[in-house]
Amino acid sequence: MSKKITIAIDGHSSTGKSTAAKQLALKLHYVYVDTGAMYRAVSYFALREKLLVNGNLDKQKLIEKLKDIRISFVFNKDTNNADVHLNGENIEKQIRTLEVSSVVSKVAEVSEVRAKLVEQQKAMGDKKGIVMDGRDIGSVVFPDAELKVFMTAAPEIRAQRRYLELVEKGDDVSLEEVLKNVVERDHMDSSREDSPLIQLPEAKLLDTSEMTREEQFELLVSWAEEAIEKA
């Protein structure tokens, strides 16, 4: 049996990280964890508790209420997906809206939120054999990961992809507002003080602007096999 490793996939929003990471985990028989879903779950909680008024987050209240938040992943055999649950409630659909996307970077800035989620993420990966995607996986959650990947693509291409996904789900959004959200999130995720998104020198760069999903997957698998071989 080959040695199990840890694979950290970071990068900009809507680059196809989750799809690629999920496929890779399936191929390697590894666990896949979408950490963006965890930040989205806390954001959904904050919206539901009315902690966001006119785009302003009541940080203090959110920090006080963090103890009431329990996030878990539960396998859904109908979709072959690990759905995110908030205190036992499946909120997988509710977290994928533009409303949640437009507040999540604010919530992800709060150090206390990050500390709570990072602790849980580290525990999920303590046995290795994991593919985790996010913004700070290679830098903070698993700095010793055997394979680190940084995914990006041109903002217009990412916005177009996300727009089609949202429209397909029946969301009433315009391409302009999706592009605005992509650009704003890039800026906030990369410029925040705590655990900003950075391209680590040791990370392999995967620019998906001109690549098909199949090409991305092939490259990822070859990198993973190489890293497993070396481990």
**Strand 6-11, strand 52-53: pairing:** unpaired
How crowded is residue 21: how many other Cβ atoms within 10 Å of its Cβ? 25
**Letter for the amino acid at 114?**
R
**Letter for the amino acid at 212?**
T
Per CB under 6 A, which of residues 32..61 are in contact with ligand DC? 35-36, 39-40
Return the number of the residue (112 or 225) whose C-beta is nearest ligand DC.
Answer: 112
Please choose, from the candidates 225, 197, 216, 156, the residue with its C-alpha nearest in 3D space to the C-alpha of residue 21: 216
**Cα–Cα distance measured from residue 145 to residue 103, given in angstroms and rounded to the nearest whole number:** 29
**Residue 105 within binding range of ligand DC, rule CB under 6 A:** yes
For the bound state, the minimum distance from the C-beta of residue 136 to ligand DC, rounded and expressed in Å, comes to 5
**Residue 108 within binding range of ligand DC, rule CB under 6 A:** yes
Q: How far is CA 199 from the centre of its chain?
A: 15
Residue of 51, 82, 104, 178 that binds ligand DC (CB under 6 A): 104
Size of the site for ligand DC (CB under 6 A): 14
**Strand 204-207, strand 147-152: pairing:** parallel
Return the number of the residue (3 or 122) whose C-beta is nearest ligand DC.
Answer: 122
Per CB under 6 A, which of residues 157..196 are in contact with ligand DC? 185, 189
Task: Give me the residues that bind ligand DC (CB under 6 A), please.
Answer: 13, 35-36, 39-40, 104-105, 108, 134-137, 185, 189
